[in-house]
Amino acid sequence: MTKKVIATTDAPGAVGPYSQAIVSDGLVFCSGQVPLDPATGELVTGSITDETRRCFQNLNAVLTAAGATFDDVVKVTAFLTDMNDFAEFNEAYAEFFGDEPPARATVGVAALPKGARVEVECIARMS
């Protein structure tokens, strides 16, 4: 088994003892991204749409550093602190995937790191 740590300054650094992503045997396992601005380290505030877009911009930076794109993503897991945000989350989510989106689970949770309302993680398969 091969294992490579992925790290980029184009996405927020880990807020705990974990890597932004790990590449192993052709798969990219991206850690969850909350809507932190990588330049300031501050939580993006505004609508759930704005926060969701920031999560995906962060994931894009990590995927790019690993040599992958959203086209390579096969599984997404999203966490929302308020399931009433589900429809608005879906609208922003759809901006990042085409006609054949990956498999996905969306989980309602009590709280997320840094007080975020959304967190997204994904798994990609290298082309």
Q: What is the pLDDT of residue 11?
A: 98
CA 74/CA 92 separation, integer angstroms:
18
Using one digit for the tens of pLDDT, what is the confidence trace for 4-14?
Answer: 999 999 999 98
Task: Tell me how many degrees the CA angle 116-76-79 measures, rounded to the nearest 5.
Answer: 25
Here the tokens at position 18 are: 């974990």
Indicate the DSSP class of residue 39.
T
Can you tell me which residue has the tokens 């498999």? Answer: 103
Calculate what percentage of the chain has a pLDDT beyond 70: 100
Q: What's the predicted TM-score (pTM) here?
A: 0.96
Residue 16 predicted with pLDDT over 90: no
Q: Is a pLDDT exceeding 80 seen at residue 19?
A: yes
Note the pLDDT tens digit of each residue in 90-117: 999 999 998 999 999 999 999 999 999 9
Tokens representing 90 are: 């879906």
Domain range annotation of the chain: 4-125
What pairs with residue 43 in β-bridges? 36
Nearest to 75 by CA among 125, 22, 24, 127: 125
What whole-number distance in Å separates Cα of residue 37 and Cα of residue 99? Answer: 29
> Cα(55)–Cα(34) distance, rounded to whole angstroms?
5
Distance, CA of 60 to CA of 2 (rounded, Å): 23
Task: Give the right CATH number for 4-125 from 3.30.530.20, 3.30.1330.40, 3.40.190.10, 3.90.1170.50.
Answer: 3.30.1330.40
